[in-house]
């Protein structure tokens, strides 16, 4: 696998200070799929705690299910939980099971918002989300090693998620929290006039002109009977108000209407 070129956008400078910690995973495929989920969301700090197989991230099944996420899978580190959490300043254990003694339990949204705020305010800090083994989950001591605990909002009667699926949900929530604090100019401009710097939204006067022109053409071609208009006018207004249009789009439709008038 060949790792992609490094991207130093601001959102990545925040996300790449977050460690995703898999405690004692047993299936290489889950490790590979978790790496894929992480790299797709801009995370790359994969830590594997006390695995039965120290080379679990190098196994063929892990590589196959990583689907090219070479940067994350190739950079996975194996350590103890204490070593993994040592340099971090904020941590959250993922555990559905409530314990008699546990850190403050918060929702995933609260956890991601809190961590994003913390990292944004403390540029040198690091955070971590800790996931337990596939079968048994985290132990009481492992949960208590973290500053927070949270679980996913799932169905009571069927709450089982695959480890890599849980990582995907958390990674997406983290990216959304980071995006709300660090807007990406590339993403923000992606829909602006289809990336045309000169494009401008059509104003109200232009839209009303298009509306009147469409009514006139509809009458001219015999589609609209002005004596029995029905709800055509109202439906047309609702259609035009449904989505913002650009000046050149309005001009294009006006030009089409003019050509229909000329040929009728």
| In a shared domain, residues 182 and 90 | yes
User: How buried is 139 (Cβ within 10 angstroms: 0-12 exposed, 13-18 middle, 19+ buried)?
Assistant: middle
- How far apart CA 75 and CA 4 sit, in angstroms, is 13
Sequential DSSP letters for 14-65: HHTTEEEEEES---HHHHHHHHHHHHHHT--EEEEES-SSTTGGGSHHHHHH
- Exposure letters 208-237 (e unless 16+ CB within 10 A, then b): eebbebbbebbeeeeebeeeeeeebeeebe
pTM of the model as a whole: 0.70
pLDDT of residue 3: 43
Q: What is the CATH number of the domain that holds 153?
A: 3.40.1280.10
What is the SS3 string spanning 68-93?
Answer: CCHHHHHCCEEECHHHHHCCCCEEEE
Q: Which of 187, 208, 234 finishes a domain? A: 187
| In a shared domain, residues 214 and 159 | no
pLDDT of residue 2: 40
Q: Are 118 and 126 in contact (CB under 8 A)?
A: no
Domain that holds residue 180: 10-187
Going residue by residue through the chain, which has 264 residues, state the pLDDT in tens, using 9 for 90 and above: 444 444 557 888 899 999 999 999 999 999 999 999 999 999 999 999 999 899 999 999 999 999 999 999 999 999 999 999 999 999 999 988 888 888 889 999 999 999 999 999 888 899 999 999 988 889 999 999 999 999 998 887 777 789 999 999 999 999 999 998 887 655 544 444 455 666 778 888 898 899 999 999 999 999 988 888 888 888 888 888 877 788 888 999 999 999 999 988
pLDDT of residue 102: 83
pLDDT of residue 240: 85
| In a shared domain, residues 222 and 153 | no
| In a shared domain, residues 40 and 171 | yes
In sequence order, what are the residues at sequence separation of 6 or more whose Cβ sits closer than 8 angstroms to the Cβ of residue 88?
19, 125, 126, 127, 128
| In a shared domain, residues 173 and 198 | no
pLDDT of residue 34: 96
Q: Which of 136, 170, 187 finishes a domain? A: 187
Residue 3 falls inside a structural domain:
no
pLDDT of residue 4: 44
| In a shared domain, residues 173 and 200 | no
Residue 1 falls inside a structural domain:
no
* Residue among 107, 170, 98 nearest 137 (CA): 98
């Amino acid at each position: 696998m060949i790792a992609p070129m490094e991207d130093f956008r601001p959102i990545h400078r925040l996300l790449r200070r977050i460690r995703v910690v898999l405690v004692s995973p047993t299936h290489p495929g889950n490790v590979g799929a978790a790496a894929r989920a992480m790299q797709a969301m801009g995370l790359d700090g994969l830590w594997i705690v006390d695995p039965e197989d120290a080379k679990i991230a190098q196994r063929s099944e892990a590589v196959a299910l990583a689907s090219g996420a070479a940067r994350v899978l190739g950079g996975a580190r194996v350590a103890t939980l204490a070593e993994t959490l040592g340099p971090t300043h904020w941590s959250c254990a993922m555990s559905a099971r409530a314990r008699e003694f546990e850190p403050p339990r918060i929702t995933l949204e609260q956890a991601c918002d809190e961590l994003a705020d913390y990292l944004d305010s403390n540029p040198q800090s690091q955070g971590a989300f800790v996931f337990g083994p596939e079968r048994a989950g985290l132990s009481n001591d492992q949960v208590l090693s973290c500053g927070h605990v949270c679980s996913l909002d799932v169905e009571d009667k069927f709450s089982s998620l695959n480890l890599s699926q849980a990582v995907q949900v958390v990674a997406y929530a983290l990216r959304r929290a980071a995006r709300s604090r660090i807007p990406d100019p590339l993403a923000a401009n992606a829909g602006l006039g289809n990336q045309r710097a000169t494009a401008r939204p059509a104003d109200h006067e232009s839209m009303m002109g298009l509306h009147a022109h469409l009514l006139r053409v509809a009458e001219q071609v015999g589609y609209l009977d002005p004596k029995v208009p029905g709800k055509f006018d109202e439906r047309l207004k609702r259609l035009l108000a449904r989505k913002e249009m650009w000046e050149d789009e309005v001009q294009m439709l006006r030009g089409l209407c003019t050509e229909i008038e000329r040929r009728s």
